[in-house]
Amino acid sequence: MAANGIDVGYTGGTAVVGAVANGADLKVLSAFTNRVTYDLMVKPGIKTPEDLRGKRFGIQSIGGTVWMGAILALEHLNLDAERDKINILAVGDQNVLAQALESGTIDATVLDGVQSRRLAALGFSTLADLNKFNLPILSSGFVMREPNIQKDPQLAENLLKAVIEGAAASLSLQQKPSTLKILQKYLKVSEKDAEEGYRDLVLGTDKKPYANPAGITNVVRLMKRSNQRSRR
């Protein structure tokens, strides 16, 4: 996008803030998820937040969205990784994190519903459903460069119309059968998995597609821990 190879991007808030900190002139047009929606999953034997002290906590990468979700979860539970000697480990994506928890390589992590439900069925515990806490974060959204918005405002307007209409259709009960078929087709999952994915979609999608300033503030605040440029 910085090289004008594409006009519009759909990416995470951490990537946008990091790019802006490095001089990119990006603007977030819309964001349909403005809160942490992960489940905090732990190995059997961990019963309370205090039990996480001294444990291994897996994330995807330092500075990424999963890491931020984990840090916000710990803050909400009155925990601090450094103070409470919680070892934050960069392990891999959601699939790898789920496998690491299952194998005992890590003691805790934050996972999307499709992974957390599978582990719950195997006896792992959901220490916290983070979606219920309304922890603000700028998740994925549509992004354009400021000069391109000024040059072609109609493109930005048409994009917003399209994504809003698409979100309204996918969340409509009348369109649910069609949405389930689309999920099955493109995600190549079973009908049961598509149903569970649809439930996550409904729970995780904000009805108003605006980037929440509190979510952006949290992203900037947390990025200062791993990105020196974002401190300016």
- pLDDT block averages, 10 residues each, the chain of length 232: 88 85 90 92 96 97 91 97 97 94 97 90 95 91 93 95 92 94 86 88 87 91 71 51
In a domain, 4, yes or no: no
In a domain, 116, yes or no: yes
In a domain, 57, yes or no: yes
Three-state SS for the chain is CCCCCCCCEEECHHHHHHHHHCCCCEEEEEECCCECCCEEEECCCCCCHHHHCCCEEEECCCCCHHHHHHHHHHHHCCCCCCCCCCEEEECCCHHHHHHHHHHCCCCEEEECHHHHHHHHHCCCEEEEEHHHHCCECCCCEEEEEHHHHHHCHHHHHHHHHHHHHHHHHHHCCCCHHHHHHHHHHHHCCCHHHHHHHHHHHHHHCCCCCCCCHHHHHHHHHHHCCCCHHHHC
Q: What is the pLDDT of residue 9?
A: 92
End position of a domain, from candidates 133, 168, 185: 133
Q: What is the pLDDT of residue 177?
A: 95
Domain count, the chain: 2
Say if residue 122 is in the same domain as residue 151. no
Say if residue 217 is in the same domain as residue 171. yes
Say if residue 84 is in the same domain as residue 160. no
End position of a domain, from candidates 101, 133, 165: 133
Q: How many CB atoms lie within 10 A of CB 231?
A: 10
End position of a domain, from candidates 114, 133, 152: 133
Say if residue 147 is in the same domain as residue 79. no
Say if residue 44 is in the same domain as residue 29. no
In a domain, 212, yes or no: yes
Say if residue 89 is in the same domain as residue 74. yes
Residue 96 burial (10 A CB sphere; 0-12, 13-18, 19+)? middle
In a domain, 54, yes or no: yes
pTM: 0.83
In a domain, 223, yes or no: yes
Q: What is the pLDDT of residue 196?
A: 86
Q: What is the CATH number of the domain that holds 88?
A: 3.40.190.10
Say if residue 84 is in the same domain as residue 62. yes
Say if residue 146 is in the same domain as residue 122. no
In a domain, 98, yes or no: yes
In a domain, 3, yes or no: no
Say if residue 184 is in the same domain as residue 114. no
Q: What is the pLDDT of residue 50?
A: 97
**CB contact at 8 A, 213 and 5:** no
According to DSSP, the residues that pair with 42 across neighbouring strands are: 108, 125
Residue 118: domain span: 39-133
Q: What is the pLDDT of residue 232?
A: 52
Hey, CA dihedral for 137, 140, 145, 149, is it positive or negative? Answer: negative
